[in-house]
Amino acid sequence: MGIVLEIIKIASESVPKDAPGAQIKQINLEIGKLSAIVPESLLFCFDIASKETPADGATLNIEVIPVMAECKDCGANWEITGPVFSCEKCESGSINILSGREMDIKSIEILN
Ligand SMILES: [Zn+2]
């Protein structure tokens, strides 16, 4: 729920001060698979929390970012799809998570 309030706050602040009647049409989000955010519950909370804010009625677009890893030993790059966090090539457990933890607001579309 805290994340949703944060998104609404950022979106509301992006509405130009000289356009007080402006409505937020769409919010485009990127959410990493590892971020522990469930898109369905985010959408549900957004609907409730956005009432009577400039984001009321806005569409929340969620793009899920895959978990990408890099092996520190052999340099291989791959997408992690299961619970196994070891290198696909050399089976090393020494890996870097390159993406998948993020939660970014990519863009906000405002309707004047
Ligand atoms: Zn490796």
Distance 86 CA to ligand 1 centre (A): 8
Q: What is the pLDDT of residue 92?
A: 96
Distance 90 CA to ligand 1 centre (A): 4
Distance 72 CA to ligand 1 centre (A): 7
Distance 4 CA to ligand 1 centre (A): 38
H or E segment to which residue 25 belongs: strand 23-32
Cα 1 from chain centre = 14
User: Cα angle at 13 between 9 and 19, to 5 degrees?
Assistant: 135
Distance 18 CA to ligand 1 centre (A): 54
At residue 112, does pLDDT exceed 90? no
Distance 89 CA to ligand 1 centre (A): 5
Angle between helices 2-13 and 39-49 (to 10 degrees): 60
Which amino acid appears at position 81 of this protein? Answer: T
Distance 46 CA to ligand 1 centre (A): 41
Measured CA to CA, the distance from residue 42 to residue 50 in angstroms comes to 12
Q: How sure is the predictor about 17, in pLDDT bands with cuts at 50, 70 and 90?
A: confident
- Percent of the chain, pLDDT > 90? 78
